[in-house]
Amino acid sequence: MAAIIEVYDLHKVLNKKKVLDGLSLSIQRGETFVLIGQSGVGKSVLLKHLIGLMRPDKGEIFIDGIQLDYDKPEIMSSLRSRFGMLFQGGALFDSLTVGENILFALEHLRPEMDQNEKLERMRRSLELVELPGIEDLMIASLSGGMMKRVALARAIVAEPEIVLFDEPTTGLDPITTATINDLIVDLKKKLAMTFVVVTHDIKSALFIGDRIGMLYRGQLLFEGTPEELKKTNNPYVKQFVEGRSQGPITEEYQKQLQTMKTLAQSGGEVWKNK
Ligand SMILES: Nc1ncnc2c1ncn2[C@@H]1O[C@H](COP(=O)(O)OP(=O)(O)OP(=O)(O)O)[C@@H](O)[C@H]1O
Ligand SMILES: [Mg+2]
């Protein structure tokens, strides 16, 4: 298998914090790669780098062998058009209908396409997410699970090569979560696409992932299959996988907190710079 996404030595500082600190990653064409990690660890930031919405301080990203070149808008927009994205929170337009939301993506990504074909693609994408015929409903009238499905339809409607999913099941009940996970696996079988899914739900990660990567302190701490993840002896990864409040991740966090408190008490820079 050939890599469709290659990332080398990515660095990004945000709010004086090293969010990405020398991260390297390779995602194979046609696989579902799941990125896990605690809240605030930089999962969404990494996705935004892959699609070119954020520019790294240092490092290189290649999509299908073509390097992201931030000073060349034509290269950036042609690379972006190879992606579909499901944003964290859905990012649907409440004041538009389901159909208008999906058409919006097509108008943006495939402006040259003829109107009838756009309508046809929009209807087909709703069939793929098992919501046929709901194009005239208003977004505000949908349940959380339906909204995620519509966001999914919008992400795949332009038939992108790579789909990035940022937390496709967060905020959903366990049954709806399971049906969305089934749908992701099913879509993967039907469509020849590469999926990159961000989640902090370990159960979902194990179910949908061909490979899983865990982000910690700006790097990929672990990379492997669901089986390898379950068997890992890395204490940091184990704490996350087992969802324990006690362990090395918590200990490190408490040390950082202590350092900040000490600095604050001594009139240090940390709070002044906030
Ligand atoms: N545009 C931005 N400007 C400044 N800081 C940012 C920006 N986006 C993210 N950050 C910071 O970068 C860090 C990582 O954020 P990110 O949203 O990637 O976390 P995450 O892993 O996706 O968390 P969650 O699981 O809660 O969504 C956080 O400290 C966040 O405050
Ligand atoms: Mg996020």
pLDDT of residue 267: 67
Atom 29 of ligand 1, nearest CA residue: 40
H helix runs in 139-247, sequence order: 144-156, 174-190, 202-208, 226-231, 235-242
In this prediction, residue 192 carries a pLDDT of 87
Three-state secondary-structure class, residue 217: coil
**CATH code: domain of residue 220:** 3.40.50.300
Same domain, 259 and 226: no
Q: How many whole angstroms from 112 Cα to the centroid of ligand 2?
A: 33
For residue 108, which of 165, 166, 148, 158 has the smallest C-alpha distance? 158
Same domain for 176 and 267, yes or no, is no
Closest residue CA from atom 8 of ligand 1: 45
Taking the C-alpha atoms of residue 119 and residue 203, their distance in angstroms, rounded to an integer, is: 36
- Same domain? For 72 and 168 the reply is yes
How many domains does the chain divide into?
2
Counting as low any pLDDT under 70, the low residues of the chain are 1, 90, 267-274
pLDDT of residue 271: 52
> What residues contact 17, with CB distance under 8 A and at least 6 apart?
none
Among 11, 41, 217, residue to substitute to test ligand 1 (most atoms within 8 Å of Cβ): 41
User: Helices 115-128 and 98-109 meet at what angle, rounded to 10?
Assistant: 120
Q: Are residues 218 and 269 both part of a single domain?
A: no
The helix (H) or strand (E) run that includes residue 128 is: helix 115-128
Q: How far is CA 222 from the centre of its chain?
A: 17
What is the distance between the alpha carbons of residues 166 and 213, in angstroms, rounded to a whole number? 14
For residue 144, the CA-to-ligand 2 centroid distance in Å is: 18
Q: How close is the Cα of 19 to the center of ligand 1, in Å?
A: 8
pLDDT of residue 151: 92
For strand 219-224 and strand 162-166, is the pairing parallel, antiparallel, or unpaired? unpaired
- pTM (2 d.p.): 0.89
Q: What is the pLDDT of residue 274?
A: 44
For residues 266 and 185, state if they share a domain: no
Q: Give residue 261's pLDDT.
A: 82
Is 58 in contact with 10 (CB distance < 8 Å)?
A: yes
Q: Hey, what amino acid is at 123? A: R
